[in-house]
Amino acid sequence: MNISPDKSTWFLFVQGDLNVFSSLFKGYYPSLHNYGLKISGDIELTEDCLQDFFIYLYEHRESLGEVNHIKSYLFISFRRAIFKKLKETRKFLSLEDTNEKAIKFQFSEAELAEQREFTSIQKSTLAMLLNNLSPREKEVVYLKYYSDLKTNEIAEIMNIGYQSVLNMLQKAFVKLRASTEDETIRAILKKS
């Protein structure tokens, strides 16, 4: 019987291996931080929540269940933690409001530059096009293409169906395709 690397890493973490905890923290902190910042739009809230999240994980490690895929587990759990924190800090919002309307999800030119060499004008144009998507569409695109998560993992993280993820991606691409039909935008994006 083969045990996946994630399962063995998680087992060591649950047993209290500080080196494994340190590598989980160092390995996932940046991507969780970026994701949390996209949701909250508040760097201080995101950092506080992320630190509390890792402390909670370590302190409650023995009561945590088995984990098959660490990355998706951390994204799911951190997403819940940040929504809970947002709900606490914005008492007038319901959880549904926090999930749908209060998400500050925005793409930056710097993120786009990491994916490919773009000119400054191309980066700002592409960021504008992506930021015109709905918050949920932006989140799906971010998780799929910037966090390298699989469709089933995204469905778990966002607590929606697999087909809903595919539908959102499709809608996002339809909107992006329609936006790039403008000759000016097409000319800007083609420049290299």
Place of tokens 């949390």: 36
Task: Give the pLDDT confidence score for residue 108 in this predicted structure.
Answer: 66
Architecture of domain 109-190: Orthogonal Bundle (1.10)
Give the Cα separation of 157 and 140 in Å (integer). 10
Instruction: List the chain pLDDT tens, one digit each, 192 residues.
Output: 567 888 999 999 999 999 999 999 999 999 999 999 988 888 999 999 999 999 999 999 999 888 889 999 999 999 999 999 988 887 545 544 544 444 667 766 566 555 555 566 666 777 788 888 998 999 999 999 888 899 999 999 999 999 999 999 999 988 888 877 766 666 665 654
69, 152 in Cβ contact below 8 A?
no
Give the Cα separation of 95 and 75 in Å (integer). 18
What number does CATH give the domain 5-100?
A: 1.10.1740
Residue boundaries of the structural domains of the chain: 5-100, 109-190
Torsion, Cα 90 94 95 99, to 10 degrees, reads -80
Give the Cα separation of 176 and 18 in Å (integer). 45
Give the Cα separation of 135 and 40 in Å (integer). 12
Give the Cα separation of 123 and 117 in Å (integer). 9
Both structure tokens of 54: 């890792």
